[in-house]
Amino acid sequence: MECYDKNMKGKTATNVLYYFLTACIVVGAVLVYKAWWDRYFRLRPELAVAEPVVIPIDVPLEGVLIWEEITVTSPVEGNISFPLGRGPVYCARGDLIAEVTATEGRRPVKAPSPGYFVAALDGSEGEWSYGSIWPGSSRLPEPGPLRFLEDGQKVSSGEFIGKFIPQPQSLRCVAYLERSALDWDPSKRGHIELKRSASDLPFRAEVRAVNDLGPTLKVYLTLPFFSAKEIVSRKVSYLLHVKDARGVLIPESAVTLRERKKVVFLVTGDRSVAVEVTGVPVSGRRFLVEKGLAPGDLVIASGSDAFEGEVMIW
């Protein structure tokens, strides 16, 4: 019995050693295979091509419009009508812009000069001016909505029935700009470029005055146009066109930080080299490189996994 126990213990020890060595061989093989696999992919990284592009850099601009206007009143009590419509409508001097039907007959209201007429008021008439808006650094005022009169509406003698905006005159705008959003100082140039929307071409607005408030600039502008749709609201939203950024597009994942610098791994021949770049992230998880790369350059698509050294791209 004792001999049997010794044989069993010997076989158990042998089995343990066998399985242990087998496990070591398997683990070793896996590690070797993984090292080979990692090296294979490190030497054959996914690449991206730097594509040339021009991207407009625009920032929102909220402002208020200023113009000279005349309030129009009813000459008598009666029911009012608007032969040219409630507007905004452009009319010549002497055009019939309103007519009040009273007991004694019809009383015409005519345009005092060329200009725009609108049969509506927003409550800011007589108070909205350059002198009340430009000084100081307070928030820009909020205009009320235009309240239109109706055809056939009864009005009293002397009651406001709309407003008239003489033409020609300059359409002016007061707005705040964040200095950090600019690559230049508006006080040192005579114009800025604005856009109605991202797809529109920019237009020039003359800079009449600048109030430097430190991180913020208050600007007084003259706009190059004055159409009827500009008088529907005294508040306006534009895009400030800062510049057209020219450079190349690469995946945002290609950019990584090394020693607090933005770098990409440029592939030339059979080697990759870390290259410092300057630029900004843009939509679609892409990165606009303004300096550091040329169109057609090859970069490693995953910068965080990349390294300098040998690569195999074929």
Query: Of the candidates 123, 198, 125, 208, which has an alpha carbon nearest to the alpha carbon of residue 174?
Result: 208
Question: Taking Cα atoms as reference points, which of 234, 225, 228, 236 lies closest to residue 118?
Answer: 228
Tell me whether residue 161 is exposed, middle or buried, using C-beta atoms within 10 angstroms of its C-beta: 0 to 12, 13 to 18, 19 or more.
Answer: buried
Lowest-pLDDT range of 29-38, 40-49, 112-121, 250-259? 29-38
Confidence class for position 186, pLDDT limits 50, 70, 90: low
Average predicted confidence (pLDDT) for the chain: 86
The alpha-carbon radius of gyration of the chain (Å, integer) is 37
Check residues 261 and 32 and name the one with the higher pLDDT: 261
Name, in order, each residue with C-beta under 8 angstroms of 43's C-beta and a sequence gap of 6 or more.
Answer: 310, 311, 312
| pLDDT, greater one: 75 or 179 | 75
pLDDT at 269: 83
DSSP-derived letter for residue 132 is: H
Signed CA dihedral, 226, 230, 233, 234: sign only: negative
DSSP letter at 288 equals E
Residue 313: helix, strand or coil by DSSP? coil
**pLDDT for residue 27:** 59
Tell me what pLDDT residue 266 has. Answer: 94
Identify which has the larger pLDDT, 174 or 30: 174
| Mean pLDDT along residues 218-236 | 92
d(C-alpha 65, C-alpha 236), whole Å: 7
Read off the pLDDT band of 87 (50, 70, 90).
confident
Q: Give the helix, strand, coil percentages of the chain, each rounded to 5.
A: 20, 45, 35
Number of CB atoms found within 10 A of residue 227's CB: 10
DSSP letter, residue 306: -
Distance, in Å, from the CA atom of 219 to the CA atom of 66, rounded to the nearest integer, reads: 13
CA distance 277 to 289: 6
Q: Which segment, 42-56, 164-178, 181-195, is predicted with the most confidence on average?
A: 164-178
State the DSSP string of 260-274.
Answer: TEEEEEEEETTEEEE
- For residue 64, give Cα distances in angstroms to 91, 134, 139, 175, 286: 25, 10, 11, 7, 35
pLDDT digits (tens, 9 = 90+) for 113-155: 999 999 999 999 989 999 999 998 889 999 989 999 999 999 9
Span 247-260, pLDDT tens digits? 999 999 999 998 88
Can you give the pLDDT at residue 224? 94
Reported as a pLDDT band with limits 50, 70 and 90, residue 29 is: low
CA distance 251 to 289: 10
Mean pLDDT of 275-303: 91
Query: pLDDT tens-digit profile of 258-283?
Result: 888 999 999 988 888 999 999 988 88
Helix (H) or strand (E) holding 117: strand 115-118
pLDDT at res. 36: 44
Give the global pTM: 0.71
Q: Which amino acid is present at 185?
A: D
Q: What is the spatial distance between Cα 140 and Cα 160, in angstroms, rounded to a whole number?
A: 26
Answer yes or no: is pLDDT of 200 > 60: yes
3-state secondary structure 208-253: EEEEECCCEEEEEEEECCCCHHHHCCCEEEEEEEEEEEEEEEEEHH
- Strand-pairing partners, residue 53, are 247
Of the listed ranges 6-10, 69-73, 108-112, 303-307, the least confidently predicted one is 6-10
pLDDT at 4: 47
> 293 near 47, Cβ under 8 Å?
no
Distance CA 117, CA 289 (A): 51
